[in-house]
Structure 1
Amino acid sequence: MPSIRIAIVGAGPVGLLLARLLLDNPGVDVTVFESDQSPSVRGQGGSLDLHPTTGIAALKEAGLYEEFLKRVRFDGEALIICDKNLIPYVNLPRAEENTSRGRPEIDRSSLREMLLHSVPPEMIRWGWRLRSIDSQHRVVFDQGTESGFDLIVGADGAWSKTRQLLSSQTPIYSGIAGISFTIPEAEERAPKGYEMVNRGSVFAYSDGKGITAQQAGDGSLDISAWYVQREDWRDHAAHDISTAQGARTQVVENYQDWDSRLIDFVRQGERPVARSLYMLPVGWKWKHRSGVTLIGDAAHVMTPFAGEGVNLGMQDALLLSRAILKASKSSDPTFQLPAQIKTFEAGLFVRARKTAELTRDMMQWWFFTDGSPRSVVEKVVIRITAFHQSGPLASAAFPFFAAGVYAYYFGFKWFH
């Protein structure tokens, strides 16, 4: 008989990864509840870059690294960070597995598909929409009430209903919104843009605005146009942004002084989706409550401008699985579980704050700093490198690295 019963609310990558990590452990019984009626009911978004010490480390512990290698795109590490005039402040080439810089790309849909195939189908209850969790930890769904769980894990995203049992805090508007598009069959339909992206990504920032283009595994390009604007911007849009033509016109009118090659990404875009970016306050945490915890966006949703959100969430799943398994192997699992979860949460709060601070800084530099990216590129490179560095040798060498960054960009700006 399993000693610990777990309910995971949400079958996104983070919830599924936790389920996989707990699989085949006789001391744990897991049920995943997902509000979507099926895996294919809606799109999963664009491309993700996974990192060695977080996302990839979690996949390795889950026994999924070899399958990951079949799906990952190391050439997706190609990267251009430029301004509105296409001056490239960062320009990195494609990579291969043996030359990887530690940020290979995988489509969100492919990652979720891999994780879905790694757990028994009967573990997931599709179409179970959570309504509430009461004070007795009874989980109320449209289909009825489930109870008897030793731990309820909220992996139910930015607008988590599980979070409501722990706090009244909801995500706050970041000040940035925009419209995303897709260019299908980009090599044929948008050959110049496809060549520029180079199977990786182009991130262009200037004047509180951004245009991003990323290669997807199916040959399409995911395009987004972000800019600083009021939260109710959709109500004041000059055009009907629910149509492709209206959405394109809405964006293009705001980017008239940008290089035409960047604007072309938008002009060629289809399937517009209006998006407003929300985040939980930096440093937010909840008071521990036995029997309930959060992971992924439910615990620390943030904007995408540091590329760390999904990696942090996958690390949550890894560390939470270790805490649960440690409790399950004790002489009194249900007694030990709350203490293990409380320790896990203390570590999560530290990791989340560090990552949220990086993400806030990146957003501030790209969108809210005069002269960006020219005025901030040194800070960006140094900050990201510092975030990922580890070990005493790295720390000792870091001042020399930082000096080298400033020297390089002094010369670069002289000639540009």
Structure 2
Amino acid sequence: MWPVTTNLRIAIVGGGPGGLTLARLLHLNGLECTVFERDSNQLERPQGGTLDLHEGSGLLALEQAVLIPEFEAIARYDDQGSRVLSKDGRLLFEDAPESGDRPEVDRTALRAMLLAALPDGAVRWGCTLREVLAQNDGTWALSLNHGTEGPFDLVVGADGTWSRIRPLLSPYKPQYSGLTFIEFGIDDVDRSHPAISKLIGRGKMGVEGDGKAIIAQRNGNAHVRGYAIFRVPADWISKRFDLNSPASMRESLKREFDGFAKTFIDLFDASNEHFAARPIHALPVGHCWTNRRGLTLLGDAAHVMSPFGGDGVNNAMFDAAELARLLTERQDWTDAVNEFETMMFARVIDSADGAAEAAATLLSHVGQALTVEMHRAHAAST
């Protein structure tokens, strides 16, 4: 058995919600760690759209991190509504936003809150991982763009879908789901586009038909983030759209959704200059690996799945909470990591299975009926 390490040296690769939650919880419990993040600063690139945090996972992690008051200051409890419409504009389902238990928060605001809760110097910015190097004494070093850091007893891969740590543990790569989202944004929606504001309501709006869909979701600061969704080959978008020309993108999207009610076409006319293709990838349901001393994964690095269900960030933050708890409670940290992985593998199967099922049935001939059924079931359970 490896000896108990009293001064555990921990590196976290990736400064997203999972990695930062882990860093916060470790520091609270007296375990020092360093987060290595490739961004040069916290505002270098957009962090994505709004997130809904769930009781028992994301919110529980924040409770354990003693950050609920800070979260309450940035949470949007009144933006939890959902509306489902037919392609001709008929309302098929709507729930009341004030009844929800999954408060929304912008990714950028959540990241800023977590960063503010860490000690100075806990995050090393501008650090791109090139390679993880095994050392003769069983520790690990990180080869980064600026040089080598280490040694570390434990390296945690919180580095997302295309993790550089995962290949040291698992041969599996995320597979394309067959779905690609084209992301667009609408600014100042309440003042500049009141009809669109009413269409989306306090939360999100979805419409599906003819083998394609649109989801538009309210973010903070009167911003709407929208997604045009297609079930297509992986290279279809690059052959059909010019992502470098906003004007061309608007016209192309309007053509693709010809036959949908004008109220949906108006979303594209109102969009700003930023468009991006988001192909959806996932690891196999039940993805796991054999424990390897000094390495582990959490969040999307361990179990990336489609976004349907909103469990991704919640799983990542709860992963962080469980790993921090076990590292604190167990005498031997290697046992703690092994126990964490075993529990995580079992815990995420249901959400991964549900996300895979949703991705498989979206845009099918019964896709919209299943979406309405899912919303009704969730509304009945809250």
Q: TM-score, normalised by structure 1?
A: 0.85
Shift in Å at residue 380 of structure 1? 6.2
Q: What is the letter of the counterpart of residue 29 of structure 2?
A: N
The yes-or-no answer on 1:13 pairing with 2:7 is no
Q: How does 1:387-398 map to 2 (within 5 A)?
A: none
1:242 touches 1:273 (CA, 8 Å); kept in 2? Answer: no
Q: What residue is the counterpart of 1:165 in the other structure?
A: 168
Q: What residue is the counterpart of 1:142 in the other structure?
A: 145
Q: Which secondary structure state, in structure 1, belongs to the residue aligned with residue 195 of structure 2?
A: helix
- Contiguous gaps of at least 5 residues in structure 2: none
Match of 1:185 among 170, 181, 188: 188
The yes-or-no answer on 1:154 pairing with 2:157 is yes
1:9 touches 1:15 (CA, 8 Å); kept in 2? Answer: yes
Shift in Å at residue 142 of structure 1? 1.3
Q: Which secondary structure state, in structure 2, belongs to the residue aligned with residue 84 of structure 1?
A: coil
| Higher RCO (Cα < 8 Å, 6 or more apart) | 2
Q: Which secondary structure state, in structure 2, belongs to the residue aligned with residue 4 of structure 1?
A: coil
2:179 touches 2:359 (CA, 8 Å); kept in 1? Answer: no
Q: What residue is the counterpart of 1:195 in the other structure?
A: 198
Amino-acid identity (%): 36
- Contiguous gaps of at least 5 residues in structure 1: 331-335, 390-416
2:285 touches 2:353 (CA, 8 Å); kept in 1? Answer: yes
Partner Cα distance (1:217, 1:316) in 2: 27
Q: What residue is the counterpart of 2:212 in the other structure?
A: 209
1:186 touches 1:194 (CA, 8 Å); kept in 2? Answer: yes
Shift in Å at residue 65 of structure 1? 0.4
The yes-or-no answer on 1:123 pairing with 2:119 is no
Partner Cα distance (2:215, 2:146) in 1: 41
The yes-or-no answer on 1:373 pairing with 2:375 is no
- Per mean C-alpha deviation after superposition, the further-off stretch among 310-319 and 357-366 is 357-366
1:84 touches 1:258 (CA, 8 Å); kept in 2? Answer: yes
Q: What residue is the counterpart of 2:252 in the other structure?
A: 250
Partner Cα distance (1:208, 1:339) in 2: 48
Shift in Å at residue 379 of structure 1? 5.7
Q: Which secondary structure state, in structure 2, belongs to the residue aligned with residue 23 of structure 1?
A: helix
Deviations 1:173-230 (CA, angstroms, capped at 9, x unpaired): 0101131111111112211011122231112222331111111111111111011011
Call closer, same or farther: CA 1:16–1:379 in 2, change over 3 Å.
Answer: closer
Q: What is the letter of the counterpart of residue 158 of structure 1?
A: T
Call closer, same or farther: CA 1:200–1:373 in 2, change over 3 Å.
Answer: same
Measured on the aligned residues, the alpha-carbon RMSD in Å equals 1.9
Deviations 1:107-153 (CA, angstroms, capped at 9, x unpaired): 00100010010001211110111001123322111122222212110
Q: Which secondary structure state, in structure 2, belongs to the residue aligned with residue 121 of structure 1?
A: coil
Structure with the higher fraction of residues in helix conformation: 1
Partner Cα distance (2:282, 2:289) in 1: 15
Match of 1:346 among 337, 342, 364: 342
Q: What is the letter of the counterpart of residue 184 of structure 1?
A: D
State the 4+ residue runs in structure 1 displaced beyond 6 angstroms: none
Q: Which secondary structure state, in structure 2, belongs to the residue aligned with residue 32 of structure 1?
A: strand
- Per mean C-alpha deviation after superposition, the further-off stretch among 195-204 and 121-130 is 195-204
2:75 touches 2:104 (CA, 8 Å); kept in 1? Answer: yes
Q: What residue is the counterpart of 2:100 in the other structure?
A: 101
Q: TM-score, normalised by structure 2?
A: 0.93
